[in-house]
Amino acid sequence: MRRNHPLIIAVSYLTVVFLYLPLAGVAVFSVNEARRGTVWEGFTLKWYAKLFQNEWIMEAAWNTLLLAVISTIVATILGTILAIAIDRFPWKRRTSNYLDIILHIPVVIPDIILAASLVVAFGLLRVVSSIFEPGLLNMIIGHITFQIAFVALVVRSRLVAIGREVEEAARDLFASNWYLLRKVMFPLLMPGIFAGAMLAFTLSLDDFVISFFTAGPDSQTLPLFIYAAVRRGVTPQIHALSTLIMLVTVVLVVTTERITRR
């Protein structure tokens, strides 16, 4: 077996350290007795206890969870339908290529561009109805707009891996459309659907730019709270909150990776 060059191995380890050392530093400061500075004064969990006693943080956490759950459910349903429609409908080659481009645009486009576009769109919608004032509804719609593409891409990759042979076999056994969808397609697609939902949920938890452009005064999320708090100075509670968000994100990413691999 061919061994990698020691320089490649060293660069790989340095890259990992460069990526995760700041995160480890945040976790260490979250259990530091010192309120200010970088001096270690002893181990403590009081900052986590105070974190859960902060009403503003709890309200922001509730808004973040509500936003992520609702947008993920809607985006998962629409993204799954979109993936099936793109992959299984007999589109012409040119039309299929156009659909691929449209599907990838929300993934590769900068968040600031999408956020600015949403501001313009909601400004036009407010002429029709006042429910599109900045707030939780706009944030949910904004998150769905970029989550759908990620879910559709994950589910579509699962469709490609499954192939069409199973569906053709079910058709040969006189399976109806509803039976085929309920008993054949959904069980096979479930790992991809779940992985896409977990990815969408993670992206919603961590999103800042789109939330910042669409949020209202009563719809602050944890990323927005951290941004506002850091401008006044970084406190151990912010370190604790950041550590918890990081741990939740890691758990979701690892779970998604395991399910996708299976």
Whole-number pLDDT of residue 80: 92
Whole-number pLDDT of residue 212: 92
More confident residue, 215 or 237: 215
% of the chain with per-residue pLDDT over 90: 22
Closest among 190, 192, 182, 242 to 60, alpha carbons compared:
242
User: How do the domains of the chain map onto residue ranges?
Assistant: 54-261
Whole-number pLDDT of residue 262: 62
C-alpha distances out from residue 97 to 90, 110, 206, 249, 261, Å = 13, 22, 31, 33, 27
Is it the case that residue 70 has pLDDT exceeding 90?
yes
Whole-number pLDDT of residue 138: 92
Is it the case that residue 37 has pLDDT exceeding 70?
no
The DSSP code for 173 is T
Give me the chain's average pLDDT, please: 84
More confident residue, 101 or 144: 144
- pLDDT, mean of residues 245-249: 83
Whole-number pLDDT of residue 25: 82
Is it the case that residue 1 has pLDDT exceeding 60?
no
Closest among 83, 68, 94 to 199, alpha carbons compared:
68
pLDDT of 22-34, one tens digit each? Answer: 888 888 888 888 7
pLDDT of 184-211, one tens digit each? Answer: 888 888 888 988 998 899 899 888 999 9
pLDDT of 217-232, one tens digit each? Answer: 888 898 888 888 877 7
* Cα pseudo-dihedral 153, 224, 254, 166, rounded to 10: -20
Is it the case that residue 260 has pLDDT exceeding 70?
no
Closest among 145, 123, 143 to 134, alpha carbons compared:
123
Whole-number pLDDT of residue 107: 86
Would you say domain 54-261 falls under CATH 1.10.3720.10? yes
Angstrom distance (rounded) from CA 70 to CA 143: 10
More confident residue, 210 or 7: 210
Tell me the β-bridge partners of 43.
32
Rg of the chain in Å (alpha carbons): 22
More confident residue, 39 or 59: 59
Closest among 207, 250, 244, 221 to 64, alpha carbons compared:
221
Is it the case that residue 108 has pLDDT exceeding 60?
yes
Lowest mean pLDDT of 59-68, 122-131, 159-168, name the range.
Answer: 159-168
pLDDT of 149-193, one tens digit each? Answer: 999 999 988 888 887 777 778 777 777 777 777 788 888 888 889
Chain position carrying tokens 């995760």? 20
φ/ψ of residue 39, rounded to 5: -85, 130
Decide: 249 and 202 in contact? Cβ < 8 Å.
yes
Closest among 213, 219, 203 to 106, alpha carbons compared:
203
Greatest alpha-carbon span in the chain: 72
- The vertex-256 CA angle with 27 and 211, nearest 5°, equals 65
